Amino acid sequence: MNLAVKYRPKTFSDVVNQKHAVITLQNALKTMNIGSAYMFTGPRGIGKTTLARLFAKGLNCEKGVTADPCGKCENCLEIEESRNVDVLEIDGASNRGIDQIRELRENVRFTPLKGRYKVIIIDEVHMLTQEAFNALLKTLEEPPKNVVFIFATTEPNRVPDTVKSRTLRFDLRPLEKQHIVERLKKVATLESMDFESDKVLELIAEASTGGLRDAISLLEQAYIYSQGVITLEKVKELTGILPQEIYLEIFNSILDKNSKGTVEIIERVVAQGYSLEDFQKGFVRAAEALLKAFYGLEKNEFTILASRFNEFQILFLLRVLKDIELDLRSLSNPKIFVDFHLLRLSKIESELELLPEVNFINSSSSPAIKNGTAVRTTPESLISETPSEPSMGNKEAPPKDIIAYAKEKLKLKEVKNGPY
């Protein structure tokens, strides 16, 4: 079926959650204030190429340059199907050399054959070589009349500044969960797909990480996999998303300082066939929900549990999550290190065991750990208190040495607004 292609937005009004880009492009078409080069950036599946095609339709629609292309004329239909002779779609990954760009430069010298504008869409433009960018730069500096370049990229940092400075840039945003759920519900209704409850669509939206194309593709895959009603259990099996109960168990083990229980949980997760990457991604989502519940930003399944944490534990949890992510990227056998980081969480005070009397939270309202007990600190207490048994065997260590060691121990960095 390929529902992601079938339900790709056909008009500007169909585009979801990119209001800033849609309004600007429509206003440009209304006022005939057409730029020579545009750049759409953002993660995959959020509408970069779709917006490029819609803008090309607005430029070449048979009813005239318009902010509301008809979508029915020959030019609009050909652009929609990627077969219009005046709208060239180029894959930057496979056409990245200087020879291809030279050929393109020769091509844009000629006037459009059927439309008003020749539109060059280069997808994943960051994949072009430096030589190709240099060749393209000359054309951008002196653009031919009635030629519009549209670049799409997921990695704008890899595009030379000299090229970016000659484009009108739009940073497209990942879609919010509720917007994805609404579109999925519409697609499911039009395709007569039965699903167990809205929680099915919410889980699909969560797994798509803000990309509508991925969400619709996953909905189609779940429908084929389920062979009938799409159930929550089937979607969990398909996406590898761990049940939230797993993370509730982990958070309880952290609070109870149950090291053995924490390791047993990860052993069970692996035995059930989940990957460590699946576990880590789910852990990040659970930590985000815990963080929001802790600060009262939303009520969720972690709200009651969040009241048992203090701010220091929340911050340390986020720090350890970052360490887990880095190890999963760089190590060939990271399982033992995942165990290690989870043990760190269940023995949170051990990070400060060499400095038991020093409070590291520079806030009068934030709890810190002192001899295993949450206490309140003030900025002055950080300087005034000295350890009963200072590290390095130096019982007369001055406060500045304690601070230096603390910064090294916790890998704190200095900023302009304070020492930490």
pLDDT tens digits for range 289-300: 899 999 988 888
Predicted confidence (pLDDT) at residue 287 exceeds the cutoff of 80: yes
pLDDT of res. 358: 42
Q: Are residues 325 and 360 in the same domain?
A: no
pLDDT of res. 383: 40
| CATH (domain of 229) | 1.10.8.60
Q: Where in the sequence is the domain holding 41, given as residue range(s)? A: 3-171
pLDDT of res. 394: 44
Q: Are residues 165 and 270 in the same domain?
A: no
Q: Are residues 161 and 250 in the same domain?
A: no
Residues 6+ apart with CB under 8 A from 116: 59, 60, 65, 146
| CATH (domain of 291) | 1.20.272
Give the C-alpha separation, 118 to 111, whole Å: 7
pLDDT of res. 365: 41
Q: Are residues 332 and 205 in the same domain?
A: no
Q: Are residues 59 and 151 in the same domain?
A: yes
pLDDT of res. 379: 39
Q: Are residues 221 and 76 in the same domain?
A: no
Predicted confidence (pLDDT) at residue 27 exceeds the cutoff of 90: yes
For the chain, the domain total comes to: 4
Q: Are residues 155 and 279 in the same domain?
A: no
Q: Are residues 19 and 108 in the same domain?
A: yes
User: Of all residues in the chain, what percent carry a pLDDT higher than 70?
Assistant: 82
| CATH (domain of 121) | 3.40.50.300
Q: Please, what is the average pLDDT of the chain?
A: 82
pLDDT tens digits for range 296-332: 888 888 889 998 988 888 888 888 888 888 888 887 7
Do the Cβ atoms of 136 and 101 come closer than 8 Å? Answer: yes
Q: Are residues 308 and 193 in the same domain?
A: no
Choice among 45-49, 263-267, 360-364 with the minimum mean pLDDT: 360-364
pLDDT of res. 351: 60
> Which tops the pLDDT comparison, 134 or 1?
134
pLDDT tens digits for range 75-113: 999 999 989 999 999 998 888 888 888 888 888 888 888
Give the C-alpha separation, 39 to 230, whole Å: 38
Q: Are residues 18 and 141 in the same domain?
A: yes
DSSP per-residue codes, 249-274: HHHHHHHHT-HHHHHHHHHHHHHTT-
Predicted confidence (pLDDT) at residue 382 exceeds the cutoff of 90: no
pLDDT of res. 395: 41
Predicted confidence (pLDDT) at residue 408 exceeds the cutoff of 50: yes
